[in-house]
Every structure is written in structure tokens, then in C-alpha cells.
Amino acid sequence: MTKPLRLRLNDGRHIPAIGLGIWQVPAVATAATVSSALQMGYRLVDGAAIYGNEEGLGQGLRASGLPRDEVFVTTKIWNSAQGYDSTLAALDESLGRLAMDRVDLCLIHWPCPAQGRFIDTWRALIRARDDGRVTSIGVSNFLPEHLERLVDATGVVPALNQIELNPRLQQAELRALHDRMGIVPQSWTPLGQGASFDAAPIRNAALRSGRTPAQVILRWHAQLGCSALPRSIRPARQAENLALCDFALTDAEMAAIATLDEGVRCGPDPAVFQ
Ligand code: NAD
């Protein structure tokens, strides 16, 4: 069944199913990239302190002419800032660079379990949410044991977990846990950096629907109930990645894409990454 292209978070807010990822977008190009993406219809921009381009994100939003409330802005607490006081300070620094008084979503970027500080970091985000500096709070790259420890310690369930997810790494067990816990999965490297574009299930669905391989994959994320963050600085690709509302994959196409799972990561292993 086709799911809506906006997802409801467990705190009652909604997040767009597709957002613009700005990792590796050069700082000097970020304002123009964000502004043009917002003008073509993007309403979610995924930033992070470590991306080094938060100033451009804020500038691009203001240049777009859109009211602040119409755009969902995410930032993330980097690993070196984990801990209670350091997280609150890092969030204030991000807000300063963005020139905003709040962000819509703040995530713990990686669990860094060897540091043993993600529960203190989470308590700081709860405090920031209660103070109004952040509207929704979540995590990124959290494995089941990290999610369970957070909730056991604080009773506060993350609104979202941003994880590596694409046709070669489908994360079925982790997605099932998210369903049970009421956490929205959000896919990073959603296109798998193009690795599945030529796979038969993707090509066949693209031919049948008259769409591109990237659109088929992004539609697959939406139908799984995931928000996704494709990255491109090219306006034509940005527009292509947003145009997902007027077609759907069949159950047979979803089942065929499920066979592409190889459990292969492009990025680091969250169990050990520092
Ligand atoms: P991606 O799967 O979006 O791949 C990006 C590549 O695909 C680029 O080379 C781009 O040119 C190409 N591409 C984009 N649209 C295309 C299209 N329509 N047709 C053909 N090629 C296309 O992966 P990514 O950049 O690794 O990740 C996306 C975003 O996820 C990042 O910008 C960032 O916001 C987020 N991210 C988060 C984490 C995390 O730890 N939370 C880690 C990595 C990335």
C-alpha cells in the first residue's frame, strides 16, 4: 500500500518524506543549493555541525523567502561534543551558525558506545527540547541496544533514527524495531551512491513506470515508511528526486527490490565508530 509522503513523528509533528542532504556540499555553494532546492519544493534540509556548512543552510533558507515555519531544519551533535554540558554548548553554537533560535530536529550523530556518553547527551537534548531550542529530538546510527538503553534510562523514545539504508542495506530487523518503538526511520545514503541503479528489479520498475532508477529507489523508501535524504547539488537531479507523488511501486516490485539486500554498508559500523 502507498504511504503518504509526509511522516508523523511520535511527538505529533510531521516530517517530509524527502529531504535535501547537504553532507559534502561545499560551504561556499550551500546557500545557493539550499535556496534553489527550497524554491523547487524541498521542505526538509538535513544539516550537521560536522558538515561545516550550517551558515550556508541558514542563509539559503532566508534567501528562499519562505517563512521559517515552512521548512524543517535538522542539525546533529558531533561525537566530540557528547556529554550533557558540551551538547548544550554545541547546540547553541549550531543555532548561532544557522542564525536561528530553534531547529526542528536535533540528532545525536553517532552513538559512540565506547565513550559511554550518549545517555547524558540524550538528557541534554531532552532539556533543549523542553527549553524550546529544539522541537523534536532523535538519534542517528543507533543500533537496537543503543535505542533500548536510551529508553530504559530516560523513558523518552527518539522521534527518529537516521540510519544508512538503501537497496543493498535494507535493515529489515532495525526497521521492525522502529515500528514497534514508534520511531521513524530516515535513510542516509538512500541511493546507495548509485550502486543498485542497474539491478534488474530497479531497471524493470523504472521501465514499467517511466521513471528513473533514482526515483524508483526513493519511492521504495517512501513506501517502506522511511524519510530519505538524497544528496545532489544539481537542480535537475534535485527536482527528479522530489517528483515521487504521482506514481507507486507495485507489491511485486517492492518484493523484487527486497531481494537486493546484501547487508553491505557504504559507511562505518556504528558499533565501533568514534
Ligand atoms: P546518496 O545515496 O544520496 O548518493 C549521493 C550520490 O548520488 C551523489 O554522487 C549524487 O550525485 C548522486 N545522485 C543524487 N541524485 C541522483 C539522481 N537522481 N540520479 C543519479 N545520481 C544521483 O548518498 P550520500 O550523499 O552519501 O547521503 C545523502 C545524505 O545523507 C547526506 O547528504 C547527509 O545529509 C546524510 N548522511 C548522514 C549520515 C549520518 O551519519 N547521519 C552519513 C552520511 C550521509
Q: How far apart are CA 44 and CA 42, in angstroms?
A: 6
> Which residues lie closer than 8 Å to 181 by C-beta, 6 or more apart?
147, 151, 157
Distance 228 CA to ligand 1 centre (A): 9
Catalytic residue among 42, 48, 51, 227: 51
pLDDT > 90? residue 3: no
Answer for the pair 190, 218: CB distance below 8 angstroms, yes or no: yes
Residue 120 DSSP symbol: H
164-218 tens-digit pLDDT: 999 999 999 999 999 999 999 999 999 999 999 999 999 999 999 999 999 999 9
Average pLDDT, the chain: 96
Answer for the pair 245, 215: CB distance below 8 angstroms, yes or no: no
56-93 tens-digit pLDDT: 999 999 999 999 999 999 999 999 999 999 999 999 99
> Phi/psi of residue 124, each to 5°?
-65, -40
Q: Is 231 in the pocket of ligand 1 (CB under 6 A)?
A: yes
Answer for the pair 261, 172: CB distance below 8 angstroms, yes or no: yes
Closest CA to 220 of 239, 178, 192: 192
What does pTM read for this prediction?
A: 0.96
Q: How far apart are CA 62 and CA 46, in angstroms?
A: 16
Query: How much is the pLDDT for 269?
Result: 97
pLDDT > 70? residue 146: yes
pLDDT > 70? residue 2: no
Q: How far apart are CA 60 and CA 208, in angstroms?
A: 37
For the chain, percent of residues with pLDDT exceeding 90: 96
Closest CA to 225 of 189, 261, 178: 178
Q: How far apart are CA 183 and CA 158, in angstroms?
A: 6
Report which protein residue has its CA nearest ligand 1's atom 13. Answer: 232
Active site residue 51: yes
Place 1 in a pLDDT band, splitting at 50, 70 and 90.
very low
Q: Is 94 in the pocket of ligand 1 (CB under 6 A)?
A: no
For the chain, percent of residues with pLDDT exceeding 70: 99
